[in-house]
Structure 1
């Protein structure tokens, strides 16, 4: 119980602390220093993720970082076990990235502001027209040079079993032309979801598979990209 209280206290304080960097981000913009502005948003998110993982005493073993292209934008496609998946990806993969996120996150003060600055895209899965626009915006963000994280299951599994990958969100991989990097996340559900919301210090494993180039696939493989990605990730997910 004390760890849970500690974690949420650090969560709130760290979110409030990020407001110190907001004026800096705006000054960089006013000065036309777009690269510095971009890095500011990235490192705020990166260190925020690391702080929260530390507060929860979560240890992350990450394998395959060499499979993340150093240059250019990519589409990270991962399974989704827990809310902590976001902190893990923010704090353990040091590459600027946005998220295709559920629209409910747009209601969180300060966090929403930083998500906008990171070019995150909010999707309302109950609104087909808005969902199509969100996918199109993701493609634009990637073509602008920002990497994007997508969870094609659409919601947390809250356990080791993976749901089906929805084809719609993977249109981003088809249309953006960016390499698709499969990310298998194992054990994050044990941090919170398996404990009725209480925080538990556990070991988490992240395995990054070699990137897939959509245009290099056959027509048949392109039509089954959702299955190929799901199978690739499932092969690397381990229940610890």
Structure 2
């Protein structure tokens, strides 16, 4: 059985990715930060469909906790999956933050940098000894990195996601010696808990936003989760070093 590690899988895109990966026959080690109940819901959904999943706590912005997380993953692999390695890593965990450049504080900047770039960088480094040869990694970026989706207030967020695009390409190069593929996926606006659950709290913004998409609606988590599952599976075996926009072509 293949095994995947999916971070930030208590809701939204991460939850969808975990479920979709499991539907393709992989076991899943998924993480959560504050939403433990959401993680339990993801595990239950996977188990009800006949799969196997384990939920572990992870603060993606706290690298000091990564060695202990490495050990927890190793324990879960051994105890639940009878493995000493895993095959697929989905770096999804993160959080949003917005401020105009003239108003941004250094504290906000550092928090976003820790969660969106430093965290995924060093988490991948930490887990790399457990990742099997010929495995696959998908990093979540954003279409906010693209010239046609510039939105005032997201300069730091978008710049850090842009850094992940570049990092993914370098990972693809460096890890290719072990046959490990690395791609990134760039969603557009998607119905998740992103930005403090903005869509649930402000549903009136959705109709006008939907008009900016070529396909006439905002994204749903499964729109992204299914692509992630494809990329880490055998179907994506000849795709590496790519940043793939999955957005229904927002602002086409």
TM-score between the two structures when normalised by the length of structure 1: 0.42
Larger RCO: 1 or 2 (CA < 8 Å, sep 6+): 1
